[in-house]
Structure 1
Amino acid sequence: MKSVQKQWLEVLSAYYYVLTFLFMGPFFFLVILFLLFTSFWSVSVLYLVWLFLDWDTPNRGGRRFEWIRNLPMWRHVRDYYPIKLVKTTELPPDRNYVLGAHPHGVMCTGAFCNFSTEVNSFSKKFPGIEPSGAGLASLFNLPVYRDYLLSFGLRPVSRQSLDFILSQPRRGQAVIIMVGGAQESLYAIPGKHYLILRNRKGFVRLALRHGASLVPVYTFGENDIFQLKVFATNSWQYLCQVTFKKIMGFSPCIFWGRGLFSANSWGLLPFARPITTVVGSPIPVPRSLDPTEEEVDHYHMLFMEALEQLFEDHKESCGVPASTHLTFI
Structure 2
Amino acid sequence: MQQEQQPLHQRLPHAPPGKETTSAADQQLHPLLLADPPQTVYDAAPPRFVDAPAAVAAEHARSAIAASPLGKVAPDALASGGKGVPPDVAASEMLAAGASASLANFPRRVLQFSAVALYSSLLFINIAILIFLAYNWRIIWPFALCYFSYIFLIDSATPYTGGTDRWAFIRQWSFWRGFGEYFGAELVKTAELDPAKNYIFGYHPHGIYAYGLFPNFITQYSGFAKKFPGITLRFSTLDINWSIPIWREIQMGLGTVSVSAKSLKHILTKKGPGWSALIVIGGADEALMAYPNTNDIILNRRKGFVKVAIQTGASLVPVFTFGENDLFWQVNDESAPAIRKAQQRLAKLLTYSLPIYWGRLGMFFLPRKTRLVSVVGKPINVVQNDNPTREEIADLHARYVQELIALFDAHKDTYIPHREKDLHII
Question: Same fold judged by TM-score > 0.5?
Answer: yes
- Say yes or no: does 1:144 pair with 2:246: yes
Match for residue 112 of structure 1?
214
- Say yes or no: does 1:82 pair with 2:179: no
Corresponding letter in the other structure for 2:326: D
- Say yes or no: does 1:122 pair with 2:224: yes
Match for residue 249 of structure 1?
351
Q: Is the partner of 2:186 in helix, strand or coil?
A: strand
Q: Is the partner of 2:235 in helix, strand or coil?
A: strand
Q: Which has the higher strand share?
A: 1
In the alignment, structure 1 segments of 5+ residues that lack a partner are: 260-264
Q: Map of 1:118-267 to 2, 5 A cutoff? A: 118-231=220-333, 235-259=337-361, 266-267=363-364
Q: Is the 8 A contact 1:25 1:139 kept in 2?
A: no
Corresponding letter in the other structure for 1:33: A
Q: Is the 8 A contact 2:331 2:340 kept in 1?
A: no
Q: Which has the higher helix share?
A: 2
| In 2: Cα distance, 1:46 partner to 1:222 partner | 40
Paired residues, number: 322
Q: Is the 8 A contact 1:91 1:282 kept in 2?
A: yes
Corresponding letter in the other structure for 1:41: W
| Deviation, structure 1 residue 17 | 0.7
Q: Deviations over 1:126-171 (max 9, x none)?
A: 0000011111111111111101111121111111211111122511
Instruction: Select which of 141, 152, 155 maps to 1:52.
Output: 152
Q: Is the 8 A contact 1:35 1:44 kept in 2?
A: no
Match for residue 403 of structure 2?
306
Q: Is the 8 A contact 2:233 2:276 kept in 1?
A: yes
- Aligned-pair RMSD on alpha carbons? 1.9
| Deviation, structure 1 residue 125 | 0.5
Corresponding letter in the other structure for 2:192: E
| In 1: Cα distance, 2:201 partner to 2:181 partner | 25
Match for residue 63 of structure 1?
164
Q: Deviations over 1:177-221 (max 9, x none)?
A: 000001001110100000100110011011011000011100000
Q: Is the partner of 1:197 in helix, strand or coil?
A: coil
Corresponding letter in the other structure for 1:318: Y
Q: Is the 8 A contact 2:162 2:271 kept in 1?
A: no
Match for residue 262 of structure 1?
none
| In 2: Cα distance, 1:150 partner to 1:19 partner | 17
| In 2: Cα distance, 1:182 partner to 1:258 partner | 23
Residues 39 and 234 of structure 1: CA distance in aligned 2, closer, same or farther (over 3 Å): closer
Q: Is the partner of 1:128 in helix, strand or coil?
A: coil
Q: Is the partner of 2:139 in helix, strand or coil?
A: coil
Q: Is the partner of 1:109 in helix, strand or coil?
A: coil
| In 1: Cα distance, 2:206 partner to 2:139 partner | 42
| In 2: Cα distance, 1:9 partner to 1:273 partner | 17
| In 2: Cα distance, 1:234 partner to 1:6 partner | 38
Q: Is the partner of 1:305 in helix, strand or coil?
A: helix
TM superposition score normalised by structure 1: 0.93
Q: Is the 8 A contact 1:211 1:288 kept in 2?
A: yes
Q: Is the 8 A contact 2:317 2:378 kept in 1?
A: yes
Q: Which has the higher relative contact order, 1 or 2, with Cα contacts under 8 A spaced 6 or more apart?
A: 1
Corresponding letter in the other structure for 1:178: V
Q: Is 313-322 or 209-218 further displaced after alignment?
A: 313-322
Residues 107 and 288 of structure 1: CA distance in aligned 2, closer, same or farther (over 3 Å): same
TM superposition score normalised by structure 2: 0.72
Q: Is the 8 A contact 2:357 2:364 kept in 1?
A: no
Q: Is the 8 A contact 2:199 2:276 kept in 1?
A: yes
Corresponding letter in the other structure for 1:272: K
Residues 173 and 25 of structure 1: CA distance in aligned 2, closer, same or farther (over 3 Å): same
Corresponding letter in the other structure for 1:199: R
Residues 253 and 286 of structure 1: CA distance in aligned 2, closer, same or farther (over 3 Å): same
Residues 141 and 323 of structure 1: CA distance in aligned 2, closer, same or farther (over 3 Å): closer
Structure number with greater Rg is: 2
Q: Is the partner of 2:212 in helix, strand or coil?
A: helix
| In 1: Cα distance, 2:132 partner to 2:383 partner | 48
Identity of aligned residues (%): 35
| Deviation, structure 1 residue 320 | 2.7
| In 1: Cα distance, 2:364 partner to 2:127 partner | 20
Residues 27 and 166 of structure 1: CA distance in aligned 2, closer, same or farther (over 3 Å): farther
Instruction: Select which of 23, 31, 41 maps to 2:141.
Output: 41
Q: Is the 8 A contact 2:293 2:420 kept in 1?
A: no
Corresponding letter in the other structure for 1:258: R
- Say yes or no: does 1:9 pair with 2:106: no
